[in-house]
Amino acid sequence: MAGELGVSIRTLYRDIATLQGRGAEIEGEAGIGYILRPGFMLPPLMFSADEIEALVLGSRWVADRADDPLAAAARNALAKIAAVLPAGLRDDLDASSLLVGPGEPIARDGIDLAVIRKAIRAERKLGIDYKDGKGAASRRIVWPFALGFFERVRILVAWCEGRQGFRHFRTDRIVGLTSIDSRYPRRRQVLLKEWREIEGVPSP
């Protein structure tokens, strides 16, 4: 085990002793072997005050500016985090004074962004019917790999098969959306990296 973890035998024994001290049912002894009985869970990671404020602010922004399913997910995630925090930290979360101010109305989408997010996660192609700023209509087959959330619009970032290049599509101008049960031939992470390099977008 020490070899697999890349630590010394002494470190391994010390860590096992620490786990036993925290209530883990570990039976055995040094030089013989150990058995970890089922049922032991490590305590949840704790957050600093700044981390809690960052989580609350980010979740509030998503709840206010994202589409309905993603907004609901943000609220649910925050509730789950609150459920495992000690009382003092939970109070800090509930009483966070960092607020999301009102912004300009977001351009209304005519399509379900959840379909796009699902295609991105599964690396599946999408068929989109698109109208540009001048009203010209086109039908595209794209490889979606990112969604950008801006103050007033949302942008689908994708590789367009017809244009053979990266393209950006305002989601409020997508008038039709078709899921295609075909995986695109490149990994999402690779496409995102190449797009960042071309556009000069720094990694988060």
Instruction: Please write the tens of the pLDDT for every residue from 157-198.
Output: 999 999 999 999 999 999 999 999 999 999 999 999 999 999
Q: Judge whether 101 lies within some domain.
A: no
Containing structural domain, residue 60: 49-94
pLDDT of residue 82: 82
List the one residue out of 109, 168, 108, 112 whose CA is nearest residue 140.
168
State pLDDT tens for residues 118-157.
Answer: 999 999 999 999 999 999 999 999 999 999 998 889 999 9
In a shared domain, residues 127 and 181: yes
List the one residue out of 102, 106, 108, 192 whose CA is nearest residue 147.
192
Q: How far apart are the first and last CA of the chain?
A: 35
Indicate whether 90 pLDDT > 60: yes
In a shared domain, residues 87 and 9: no
Specify the pTM. Answer: 0.70
List the one residue out of 203, 135, 137, 140 whose CA is nearest residue 167.
140
In a shared domain, residues 120 and 167: yes
Question: Where are the alpha helices (H) located in 66-178, listed in sequence order?
Answer: 68-84, 87-94, 113-122
Residue identified by tokens 């087959």 is 141
In a shared domain, residues 136 and 193: yes
Q: Judge whether 12 lies within some domain.
A: yes
Helix axis angle for 68-84 and 87-94, nearest 10°, is 150
Residues in the chain: 204
State pLDDT tens for residues 32-83.
Answer: 777 776 655 555 556 777 888 888 899 999 988 888 899 999 999 888 888 8
In a shared domain, residues 32 and 58: no
pLDDT of residue 28: 76
109 compared with 169, residue with greater pLDDT: 169
Q: What backbone phi and psi angles, to 5 degrees, belong to 158?
A: -155, 160
In a shared domain, residues 189 and 117: yes
